[in-house]
């Protein structure tokens, strides 16, 4: 059986750690060439050593307007074409002042939206311009969060983050509708709580872990792993999903259909 992404080249924005690095490994394992963008130079060096020569990495900030065009240009020059773009880059805005609406600071609002929404706008605009300029088809996959549609007020009351992830649903579905006649597909993954550096606060909190046990009840009630997203990424970037666009796929261990039980106050 042929590899699912054999002969394809993809750009992964936010590809040097966590969910993105897992996707880089999965795509290359299935035959793709990848240009990954990230800020973590140490993990980037490790990825390059592991996956070269099918990988190129750019150390850059996803919120900078020039980053995505640079990555797309590198992929085109190195591998001949860009078949797909996966935007994973984003993160918690707690350090900026994100929180419940009455506590949310101006900086928390603007910087969290910049990191989680504007960065996606920049990469999606860059790739759609590339596709339209060349008159070719392609796949665009964004990574949101289950918090964009299924809130958790007790443990995850970061309202700017939820706003950004909810807005990604609108951006993705509107773009999917507009560009479907060009055979350019837009889809969105909405993960639950995943074990990444961004979620370390939650991983270290016993009360949150107890909550997750019932809120994400699949597979023993565990926190998700970056690899839990990989097969969906491969499917949505491959020709297997040529008739799929405008979809929001929750990979959340049952979060969105489970009530969850709060057994303790957060520590």
Tell whether the model's pLDDT for residue 264 goes beyond 90: no
Tell whether the model's pLDDT for residue 151 goes beyond 50: yes
Residue in 217, 222, 205 with CA at minimum distance from that of residue 259: 217
The 3-class secondary structure across 33-80, one letter per residue, is EEEEEECCHHHHHHHHHHHCCCEEEEECCCCCCCHHHHHHHHHHHHHC
Tell whether the model's pLDDT for residue 56 goes beyond 50: yes
Tell whether the model's pLDDT for residue 16 goes beyond 80: yes
Summarize the confidence of residues 107-117 as an average pLDDT. Answer: 98
Task: Please tell me the least confidently modeled range out of 81-90, 205-214, 232-241, 243-252.
Answer: 205-214
Task: Please tell me the least confidently modeled range out of 71-75, 201-205, 225-229.
Answer: 201-205
Q: How confident is the model at residue 262, as a pLDDT?
A: 61
Q: How confident is the model at residue 1, as a pLDDT?
A: 61
Alpha helices in 186-259 (DSSP H): 200-203, 206-215, 230-237
Percent of the chain with pLDDT over 70: 97
Domains of the chain, with CATH numbers? 9-252 (3.40.50.720)
Tell whether the model's pLDDT for residue 171 goes beyond 70: yes
Summarize the confidence of residues 113-135 as an average pLDDT. Answer: 98
Pairing mode of beta strands 84-87, 138-143: parallel
Tell whether the model's pLDDT for residue 105 goes beyond 80: yes
Mean confidence (pLDDT) of the chain: 94
Summarize the confidence of residues 204-225 as an average pLDDT. Answer: 94
Cα separation, 44 vs 18, whole angstroms: 12
Express the helix, strand and coil content of the chain in percent, nearest 5 each: 50, 15, 35
Answer whether 235's CB lies under 8 Å from 30's CB. Answer: no
pLDDT interval class at 75 (50, 70, 90) = very high
Alpha helices in 157-238 (DSSP H): 159-179, 200-203, 206-215, 230-237
Tell whether the model's pLDDT for residue 113 goes beyond 70: yes
């Amino acid at each position: 059986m042929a590899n699912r992404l054999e002969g394809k080249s993809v750009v992964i924005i936010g590809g040097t750690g966590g969910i993105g690095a897992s996707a880089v490994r999965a795509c290359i394992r299935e035959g793709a060439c990848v240009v990954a963008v990230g800020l973590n130079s140490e993990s980037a060096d490790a990825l390059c050593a592991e996956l070269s020569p099918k990988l190129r990495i750019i150390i850059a900030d996803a919120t900078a307007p020039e980053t995505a065009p640079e990555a797309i240009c590198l992929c085109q020059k190195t591998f001949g074409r860009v078949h797909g773009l996966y935007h994973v880059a984003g993160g918690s805005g707690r350090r900026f002042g994100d929180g419940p609406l009455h506590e949310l600071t101006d900086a928390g609002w603007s910087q969290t939206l910049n990191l989680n929404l504007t960065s996606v706008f920049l990469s999606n605009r860059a790739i759609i311009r590339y596709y339209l300029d060349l008159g070719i088809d392609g796949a665009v996959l964004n990574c949101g969060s289950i918090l964009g549609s299924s809130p958790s007020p007790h443990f995850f009351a970061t309202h700017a983050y939820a706003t950004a992830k909810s807005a990604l649903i609108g951006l993705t579905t509107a773009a999917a509708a507009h560009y479907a006649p060009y055979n350019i597909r837009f889809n969105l993954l909405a993960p639950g709580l995943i074990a990444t550096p961004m979620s370390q606060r939650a991983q270290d909190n016993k009360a949150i872990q107890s909550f997750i046990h019932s809120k994400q009840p699949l597979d023993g009630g565990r926190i998700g792993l970056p690899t839990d997203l990989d097969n969906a990424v491969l499917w949505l970037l491959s020709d297997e999903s040529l008739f799929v666009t405008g979809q929001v796929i929750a990979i959340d261990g049952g979060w969105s259909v489970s009530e969850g039980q709060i057994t303790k106050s957060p520590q």
